[in-house]
Structure 1
């Protein structure tokens, strides 16, 4: 079990875990997950950690088929600027390795924003905390667990 799976079990929310054989040569972990689980890439969401101009880290959860609009993310968390966080800072803060960063079960609950496209689906897929492992759950349950808001973040 990963901290992500443990956190959803503890919350007693409905979810499913999906596992697949991770290919270390895959160009995109999220798109690999969509392909191997035979689901639309628009339903698989990646977890990106950003550093705000205040020095604080924040989390964005966006479809793997899109890129993060850093201006929109900064605006969503009421910051002036956001940039992608340094990989070491992401791993230290989250407790996960890159490519397996889950929005759930991080060492410290960071301000989190989920792209509003998640609300187009009954369930979405996010990393379960390890490459080759995904959690499927309701976007509203995910937001509740993370005390997250929804905003338009993808470009």
Structure 2
């Protein structure tokens, strides 16, 4: 299958089966699989994915693993064009601060390598928080458990499948200041 193409779960080939897609299929969740050219050196992978599949960056969600007070691991699912408010995340878990978890520790907990983390089918299921901003999208695209692969799913199905708490944890970046002459 060429990059940027789609197949629904009934047409997946073996190379597109991941722990995440197997989890969704086993739970009867409707989804389709989309692939994109994964280019980690360019940064902003979620934005690259949005451009590749022709989707609104606000509806392409990045999956991040954080630690609250260095003891509570949490999986965050937020729009690719948003910034996480770590203070709000910490407050949701009665903590004082939250920070990104190391890629190695995240992979050990979730079973997914960096750039392929999904809220679905984790080895040790972490609490999941879905950004409230994502709920306005008719469909969202979330990592499917491998680099360069996302699933298209409704926000309600994503919330239910991941047993996610929906909260206001992110905001779009501030618009650029106009240049003054």
Q: TM-score, normalised by structure 1?
A: 0.94
Q: Which segments of 5 or more consecutive residues in structure 2 lack a partner in the other structure?
A: 1-16, 172-181
Post-superposition offset of 1:116: 0.3
CA distance in structure 1 between the aligned counterparts of 2:100 and 2:22, rounded to whole angstroms = 27
Aligned length: 155
Q: Deviations over 1:84-130 (max 9, x none)?
A: 11221111111111111111111111111100011101210010011
Alignment of 1:111-126 (within 5 A): 111-126=127-142
Asked whether 1:46 is paired with 2:62, we answer: yes
Larger Rg: 2
Q: Specify which of 169, 172, 179 is matched with residue 153 of structure 1.
A: 169
Asked whether 1:23 is paired with 2:23, we answer: no
User: What is the RMSD computed on CA atoms of the aligned residues?
Assistant: 1.3
CA distance in structure 2 between the aligned counterparts of 1:44 and 1:76, rounded to whole angstroms = 23
8 A contact 1:29–1:131 mirrored in 2: no
CA distance in structure 2 between the aligned counterparts of 1:120 and 1:132, rounded to whole angstroms = 24
Residue 75 of structure 1: aligned partner: 91
